[in-house]
Structure 1
């Protein structure tokens, strides 16, 4: 990529954030008084759409037959990394610095450029055995933290949410890791769900990242058939 193309990319990524998309605000899990959501980025221009996000969450909670908690705590987990957009990260960081009543965690997710299903099966299984050592994303860490946070019951209810930018790719990767590990979903069900959140399939690197985690979870009797390939 040349210098001019790099500058153009930076400029474009400064204007692609459209704020909360209600269709991508999805209730993932509920334990006690706490709720877990996946969303797209709440950043729109220079603003962080917390009010709009709460409105969308309240609707999804009501549709699920629950009542939106009064004055809940919020904990956001951002999956974006700096080169996604300096503007995105700056806007989000600034918002949470100015709203200390909310919690914010940052777990940059990259996915994988290697498709485990392109490798000999014995090699994919061997590498998956040591997944927590070599894999940057290590979905064990963030899914464990999300689960522990959800399990921790405090006087004030919590709404926990995680997002990338589009709410489709890395969000789908973390979502798939969570539901396979804790809700006993299969890799096929997780990937099929991810692929219908938007009118396209999740990007290959996010799919491969989820696929590696499936192979790792196979060692614990979870994930189902990791060789599944959806029909395009």
Structure 2
């Protein structure tokens, strides 16, 4: 009787709370977690959203923790279903006897390969029960409230978040909504999770709630903390904060009231930096060095209008120590690199400056923001693209990963990879082949040294845009680096090689599995 009364009171609270908000029919539990919530077999399990497709199909969206539950890396389907049933009935919904489950896995694959294998295998053996979706999630290192981040550059980063964020949050949020509203013969039950159901899961569902449930930044921050019983990890919190800024800046009519500037996890935000003030006190050098290191010609295209567009790679375009973009130094270095390759750089051109750096390492916030500011002040000289590169921690040759799951990861590469290489390589190719510009276009892609992050991006371009082999790409990258490149960037290019081989016409003959950096690969299963 006590439990029945508690359920009745919970439903009454839900009904009262949604009056006047009919577009959002599901109660979200802001503030302290209700003590009347019944325990579920899967920890941190919550009902997030419900959508009535028809009178016979009511789809539901859930979040939670590890569905393994100590069963030797096997997916605990029955325990997930029981957790769904408990939460749905608590909220006053009838849980269907027959449904199709979509399992959204936010785990990474370098720590949790066995868990991921178990989930994949369950749905491979039981396709009538549903499907497995691998959405590796990492959060974001860059702090949108970094005091050394100029407001104009913060706005630029927010508006372009889908082109540089480590996780395709915007795409996934809309995809979850698409799953939820999808018409089907039977109801669809969607379950998104990590291990705890707190951090990676918090980023994904907090972001979903901002857009599709009309929730405030304060509410989603507090809800994640309440479910976890602590503050969520900073990377996931900052990723969700960037998505908040993205919504606020790209759709102010709908999301202009979001108070994304308020920090509910101040330990994640660096509020005490005095670096900009210290750098501002430095005496500016009287002369500017023209030496930009490790600048190399990559490719060029002669167009029908007789223009020749170019692609170069290189190191830090700041040669002053003052974090200023050295336009003349970059041009001089590209002229020399073109000459070494038997090419000639045109006298007049539009420069596209592509940085692969972020704003969280060392003084990269000054490098990136000052490059942006340079082209804002000198638009006739070109434009700036912020393409932060992270690399991939997952070894494509991981011996523990199931071969069929590897094939799925390659097929779905665009939905989980970090560096957006499919989009970026396409943009490079399209820009180089475009004859819609009066002046030739020259692209300069760089990192700090000319052989770390940029080797990831340009390696992928050389595979697709220049039809190089995996061997040739590694030879170029390692020759420029004078040795091996960091494993994460090497892995990213290798994954892209497999993506082309499996998904893009004309590349099935690529051989991607040779270990040119054997120390990067874990051969001990």
Is the shorter-chain TM-score for this pair beyond 0.5, marking a shared fold? yes
SS at match of 1:56: helix
1:195-228 residue CA offsets vs partner (Å, 9 max, x unmatched): 1112211000000100110110002132711111
Mapped partners of 1:179, 1:55: distance in 2: 24
Which of 92, 104, 110 is matched with 2:119 structurally? 92
Please state how far the C-alpha of 1:22 moved relative to its aligned partner.
4.2
* 1:65 and 2:92 correspond: yes
Mapped partners of 2:182, 2:112: distance in 1: 33
* 1:183 and 2:213 correspond: yes
Mapped partners of 1:189, 1:26: distance in 2: 15
Mapped partners of 1:50, 1:70: distance in 2: 14
Q: Structure 1's 231 and 149: CA in aligned 2 closer, same or farther, altered over 3 A?
A: closer
Structure 2: runs of 5 or more not aligned: 1-39, 53-57, 267-525
Q: Is the 8 A contact 1:34 1:153 kept in 2?
A: no
Q: Equivalent residue for 1:224? A: 258
SS at match of 1:210: helix
SS at match of 2:122: helix
Choose between structure 1 and 2: higher helix proportion. Answer: 1
Which of 67, 82, 95 is matched with 1:55 structurally? 82
Mapped partners of 1:135, 1:105: distance in 2: 20
* 1:28 and 2:48 correspond: yes
Which of 223, 228, 246 is matched with 1:198 structurally? 228
Higher alpha-carbon deviation: 90-99 or 187-196:
90-99
Which of structure 1's runs of 4+ aligned residues deviate more than 4 A?
20-23
Mapped partners of 2:264, 2:210: distance in 1: 17
Please state how far the C-alpha of 1:44 moved relative to its aligned partner.
2.7
SS at match of 2:48: strand
Mapped partners of 1:192, 1:140: distance in 2: 21
Task: Tell me the TM-score normalized by structure 2.
Answer: 0.39
Mapped partners of 1:231, 1:34: distance in 2: 33
* 1:174 and 2:197 correspond: no
RMSD value over aligned CA atoms?
A: 1.6
Q: Is the 8 A contact 2:231 2:265 kept in 1?
A: no
1:159-191 residue CA offsets vs partner (Å, 9 max, x unmatched): 011111111001000001101011111111111
Q: Structure 1's 142 and 116: CA in aligned 2 closer, same or farther, altered over 3 A?
A: same
Please state how far the C-alpha of 1:23 moved relative to its aligned partner.
4.7
SS at match of 2:231: coil
Q: Equivalent residue for 2:182? A: 152
Please state how far the C-alpha of 1:34 moved relative to its aligned partner.
0.4
Mapped partners of 1:231, 1:171: distance in 2: 17
Higher alpha-carbon deviation: 101-110 or 118-127:
118-127
Please state how far the C-alpha of 1:136 moved relative to its aligned partner.
2.6
SS at match of 1:174: helix
Q: Equivalent residue for 2:140? A: 112
Task: Tell me the TM-score normalized by structure 1.
Answer: 0.87
Please state how far the C-alpha of 1:231 moved relative to its aligned partner.
6.4
Please state how far the C-alpha of 1:138 moved relative to its aligned partner.
2.0
Structure 1: runs of 5 or more not aligned: 1-19
Q: Is the 8 A contact 1:72 1:157 kept in 2?
A: yes
Q: Structure 1's 231 and 111: CA in aligned 2 closer, same or farther, altered over 3 A?
A: closer
Q: Is the 8 A contact 2:41 2:82 kept in 1?
A: no
Please state how far the C-alpha of 1:36 moved relative to its aligned partner.
0.5
SS at match of 1:54: helix
SS at match of 1:69: coil
